[in-house]
Structure 1
Amino acid sequence: MMRMTQNQLSMLQGRPVEDGSGKKIGTVGQIWMDRTGEPNWVSVKTGLFGKRESMVPLEPARMQQDHLVVPYDKDMIKNAPHVEAGANEPLSDPEIDDLYTYYNLEQTPPAKGASAPARHAQGRQEQLTRSEERLHVGKSREPAGAARLRKYVVTENVHTTVPVTHDEVRLDHESITADNVGNERPDIGDATREIDLYAEQPVVGKERVPVERVRMTEDDVTEDRSIDEPVRREKIEADFPDRGGQPRNG
């Protein structure tokens, strides 16, 4: 038969009972012993206002998360031998025999010197379930604006220097002597001579040339963001009377 610790038995009371397919059958009522002195049976409340609790063997049962799973369907358990809800008498030998016969189980003989079985493995219990809020943080992808590339025109002055050349006139005076006299005629009268003068002027021209390519690329950047959110949780305290009859916390 299945053996459970006192702590496991205390947690078992009031737990949901399901069959192997996950269908709910009822809730655990009390834990029971038979002639072996071991807690081998559990009563199950199958109705909301029922006054009877059907008996189910613990040997083939198993705990799964917060509920007890048994390899029997609801009809079989509802038709099983039962006890009155809240009863506190030990199981009789005929009741034990009927249970083993109904579930087709082999009985284990009691050990020598075993004491008389109690109706249930421990005294009547009351319990509270403590709950708390758990914070679940997820993520959602939302619009955060738009990035744009915009081109516009600005005007600025460019200062530079350009070397330019111009003609200038220089007068050279040379005396005529017998040694350097030429074909000059000694005429007296008005005369004019001209030389064309030239000067370079800066000429400004403009051309358009590509100078830079600007590309906008989207990158995913991961950062840690702190979240502060209040969550509630329950605490359970027990008040026990002391020897003087005054309540005390525990």
Structure 2
Amino acid sequence: MPIDSSTSIDALRAATVTSADGSKIGKVAEVYLDDHSDQPEWVTVKTGLFGSSETFVPLSTASYLGDEIRVPYTKEQVKDAPRTDADGTLSPQEEERLYEHYSLGGSGAQDLQAGTTTTTATGRLGEWSDSRDDDASGRAGGRDTQGTRGTVGHDTSGPTTDDAMTRSEERLHVGTQVRESGRARLRKHVVTEEQTRQVATSHEELVVTREPITEANRGAATAGPELSEEEHEVVLHEEVPVVSKHVEAVERVRLGTRTEQDTQTVSADVRKEEIDLDADSAVTTGSGEGDRHHSRHA
């Protein structure tokens, strides 16, 4: 059966694209709608190794059978289609290249010849009823609705956004934390050193004294034999240094800490987002010349 507004978008998203002979081309990734009719016009098909690439396939010549979308093209022809970013919108130039690849005249080519002005929409619509309401409101005031219906942006990462893009950046926050930097201990051990002191000492020396005999000492001198041998002994004394030791406390030692303040310089790489405008001259100048209808993300 042909694919039109009665076909569920969810069903198309869950379908598999096959060639005319029934060979599998790939799973459907996304569905794109026509801006004027809100009819499904394109699907992207996952191709390549592990489905890493997406290729656009037209639905104007396709039929929906069960859970398959059958197209009159070979897998090689689909894989060789012009590469286009699946960013939510097909530009007129991108559609023209796809029409030429699939040998289709395309309604867009007729619009260019007729010089019609169409509404440019970049919004991503998820339901049929919403797309019709938005399309009706966009055309209520005439064809010149650029910026009215297209105020909802589409983030290529998936979620629908409002009319503004948020720019974020990393900020560097610097603080301090306490960590262990080292340990110190007090240990006591015994060492031996030599000390020298001066000590005053005395000693006895022999002194020989000769006295003449006088009347005073004559008696003591002649008390013994007249002639004899005799020995007289004298004991000498002296002082010698004596060393003694005792232990006494001399000081107390404690181990503590104190805090010193200094300044250190740190650096780190931070990331930030930058927003650039990427638009052709027709969009930036507001010119309507050469406008054609194009497809948007469903």
Q: TM-score, normalised on structure 1?
A: 0.45
Q: Which has the higher helix share?
A: 2
Q: TM-score, normalised on structure 2?
A: 0.39
RCO (CA 8 Å, sep 6+): is it higher in 1 or 2? 2
